[in-house]
Structure 1
């Protein structure tokens, strides 16, 4: 058992088996001598010190990681249209980002639990981000953009390891607050990247947003080498490694809480990737939005999403039932999506996306906090991989479905149908959570 695992359970008799001597740490407390049990107070102080050391590095890396993936999605649909892509093909390119995540997240989570190494996958995600951004910068063919956008999804698939590693720094009861902080960092990095990327696209051209992604991804890869992870060690009388069999890992989906939160997250991502991350930028472009205004529009969605993530996990969760917050988020998003076809002015579109962003932030923060709550510690990476693989289906289905509807009917019809999914899911959340 590692020091981190033991400190989750102060007073655990396994503490006396440590083969590491820690003679001094902040507060001038001396403990963890070989064979010497550690008091709950000493364990708590040591844990707090580790959190203070490790959390800022990983939180900073989270913001940079998502920034490297989001300097350009704000204008992806109008950019592809300019290159001659059909609405359906545009939907497929946008959906490829979710497809590769759906395929890889569960296997990556299982392999991470097997190897007991999350840091390796975080580094691999940054490598994929560098290659993806470079390929998008150099490509002018739609099929190549499809490939490299899919590779961006490979990078995003490693998000499971960021979340499980960060949550491992904290006791279980602090999960909602920790999830709120990491979601805030995620959204803040994404929002800053969208604004910077769209500004560059406005003054220099589309491709400079891809170049910015490269500039962010390369130093992020270097910073990822500084990420620390406490890996399990052998303990007499205990498990030597936290490996699960493939059958046990795959059976993780039988956990009721994990299964239903995953399904709800799938529907949340379907709506988000059909609208704000899919065809709302195209709709705004048709209304006359400039390249920078497209980035500003995305920021108007992400800012309330970040604030809702921070407040939803730390403050609102204390006052309201979690299922009520999730249902409210879906209802709010559904109403805003239904109103999109009636929005003919950019100012009203900005207001629509701001309000809808609150709903998205509440949904995903609470669902992320709930999904692994009832899962054993040694299977949390597998569980998070399952959760994110399932919701990745929505990231593929959303843009593909609305692209098909736009091609067969019109974009307004697509928005109305997508809003129906969100409103029905609000009811489902009340019933199953």
Structure 2
């Protein structure tokens, strides 16, 4: 029996609250910034700052964690940054403060890497896949519960209550984090360096897969977490309806990611799964500005989330499939560092384009990335037709 068996429930509770704190106010973030006077371009920068901070912090903090052989302190820092982000939102009186909030939230999100590494250390090596699946379930459930809880409370007591909900959940998760156990490696592991990551860029398959990940993140963060809430606000959506709208994407992504391994890739293959996902992403993104009811947005959002769930897990598996086993950790680090760029570019581009030619044009331009992704995938599939993947 694992000596960390009793520590697992405590860790699960902390992680669940971590996601509730992070997502309790996300559905109302863009409309809130707009009400404070933010332009569409500024809203794009605010939304994108969440991803940009992760691009800059993920690698150096990962290297520092490996050298120190410590994860717990970084996990605790993530819990604390969630509280800081919500506190900033609670007292924000201008879009600049909302931007600072998203930067703090992005810093908090970096802790997810350390949470994952620490949690998997509680399990034997042959059960690492089980540990990751548990964490993914916590991630999705915490995300959905956070958005729905924040929306319900905000709808009943005002938007400020959603920020207070985030602060309370963050504070409890921080207290719990003091009691989690740390399983330190006996010797310092060789860290992933910037030089190693740059060298991984020479791996053609990995580079293409990472570019595809940038495209789907660009679409997701330009729509679900960026400008779909603005569209819903224009249709008179309440805080609760905004929360349901965001939860729709998470729910459908969870469903489709579950089906990827047992249905889609098994019967139609990985490449066709990605192509269909990108085509659906294009159709739904282009359809958003033409929805005239909240129910219509729900349907389109659900399909769009389903598309992302088809694409992203498949890309994650492809990112290490053609890489030698001893390089797979570095390959995953490269993949994660690159796709963060899409989290910044998606909302930023959508915002600037929307200010220039309107939100309909912004949705169409961002949606076109789905067509580009489908075309790249088709060429990639043809290129790899006769190249078998490496075995684990």
- TM more than 0.5: yes
The change in CA–CA distance for 1:124 and 1:413 in structure 2 (over 3 A counts) is same
CA deviation string 1:332-369 (max 9, x = no partner)? 22211122222222212111111111111222223334
Q: Is the 8 A contact 2:197 2:334 kept in 1?
A: no
What is the CA–CA distance in structure 1 between the aligned matches of 2:127 and 2:201, rounded to whole Å?
23
Of 314, 324, 328, the match for 2:276 = 328
RMSD: 2.8
The change in CA–CA distance for 1:174 and 1:233 in structure 2 (over 3 A counts) is closer
Q: Is the 8 A contact 1:72 1:194 kept in 2?
A: yes
CA deviation string 1:303-350 (max 9, x = no partner)? 111222333356645445333333322222221112222222221211
Indicate the SS of the match to 1:202: helix
1:371: which partner in 2?
319
Unaligned ranges ≥5, structure 1? 1-25, 27-48, 235-239
What is the CA–CA distance in structure 2 between the aligned matches of 1:310 and 1:408, rounded to whole Å?
39
Q: Is the 8 A contact 1:202 1:292 kept in 2?
A: yes
Once the two structures are superposed, the pairs formed by residues 34-433 of structure 1 within 5 Å of their partners are 49=2, 56-166=9-119, 169=123, 171=125, 175=129, 179-233=132-186, 241-243=189-191, 247-248=195-196, 250-313=198-261, 316-372=264-320, 374=323, 380=329, 383-432=331-380
> Which structure: larger Rg?
1
Bigger Cα displacement from structure 2, 302-311 vs 291-300: 302-311
Indicate the SS of the match to 1:159: helix
Unaligned ranges ≥5, structure 2? 382-392
Q: How does the TM-score come out when normalised to structure 1?
A: 0.79
Q: CA deviation at 1:283?
A: 0.5
The change in CA–CA distance for 1:248 and 1:81 in structure 2 (over 3 A counts) is closer
Q: How does the TM-score come out when normalised to structure 2?
A: 0.86
Q: CA deviation at 1:387?
A: 2.5
What is the CA–CA distance in structure 2 between the aligned matches of 1:57 and 1:323, rounded to whole Å?
39
Q: CA deviation at 1:423?
A: 2.1
Q: Is the 8 A contact 1:180 1:313 kept in 2?
A: no
The change in CA–CA distance for 1:255 and 1:383 in structure 2 (over 3 A counts) is same
Q: CA deviation at 1:425?
A: 0.6
